[in-house]
Amino acid sequence: MCIAVPAEVLEIKNGNIGVVDYGDLKQEVRLDLVDVEIGEFVLVHVGFAIQKLSREDALQTRELFKEVYAAMEE
C-alpha cells in the first residue's frame, strides 16, 4: 500500500523544487509532476508532489493522520 501525505507549498526553487510544510516538518520535494503555486497544497509521495489538493481536503487528511497516529500510540 502506498501513502501520499498532504503538504503546503511554501517556496519554489529553480522551477521544480519545492519546500513544503507537512504541519510539523518542512522538506524539499520535486514539483515536476504538478503545476502549483506558493500556498497551494499537494499530495507528496516518495519525494514527489503527485497531485494538487484543496486546502480543505488537505487539512482534513492531516487531521485523520493525527488520529491514526494517536490511536497507534495507545
What is the block-wise mean pLDDT of the chain (74 residues), using blocks of 10 residues?
91 95 95 97 97 96 90 89
Between the two ends of the chain, the Cα-to-Cα distance in Å is: 23
- Residue 52 is predicted with a pLDDT of 97
C-alpha cell at 63: 487531521
State residue 64's pLDDT score: 93
CATH class of 5-73: mainly beta
pLDDT score, position 1: 72
Q: Are 30 and 48 in contact (CB under 8 A)?
A: yes
| pLDDT confidence of residue 74 | 84
**Which pLDDT score is estimated for 34?**
97
- Model pTM score: 0.88
Residue 15's pLDDT is 82
